[in-house]
Amino acid sequence: MLFYLSLFLIFLYFKIARVHKKEEKFTTTVLIQHIIVALSASLSYIYGFSHFTPWGVLGFSFLFFIISALIITTIQLGIFIDGKPILGINKVYKTMPILTIIILLIALLQTI
């Protein structure tokens, strides 16, 4: 179960990172976060391909890619109540370090 959660969070992180790269200034701390998540993603995929069927891993990867893209697109377009957005993209950018730590911990827990 942790594997599927990590797959979803990895795709969500990289979708947020792609939007962040287009809109914000790129710093070395963001680069370090990207490297940590990329290493965690490789650990997760190694675990996934060794413990699950390859078609299942690829199928869920495609599904989570689509879901995360729709989530970020919805946040970018905005859901408004009384003329104010519920969740702005800047609030999502602030969750990137926390998301990095969560992804790293899940990837390490999987391999144990």
> pLDDT for 26-58, tens place per residue?
889 999 999 999 999 999 999 999 999 999 999
What is d(CA 25, CA 39) in angstroms, rounded to the nearest whole number? 23
This prediction's pTM: 0.89
What is d(CA 21, CA 13) in angstroms, rounded to the nearest whole number? 12
Rg, the chain, Cα only: 15
Domain boundaries, the chain: 2-111
Position 91: which residue type?
A: K
Reported for 28-33, long-range contacts at CB under 8 A and 24+ positions apart, including other chains, are: 30/96, 33/96, 33/97, 33/100
- In this prediction, residue 97 carries a pLDDT of 92
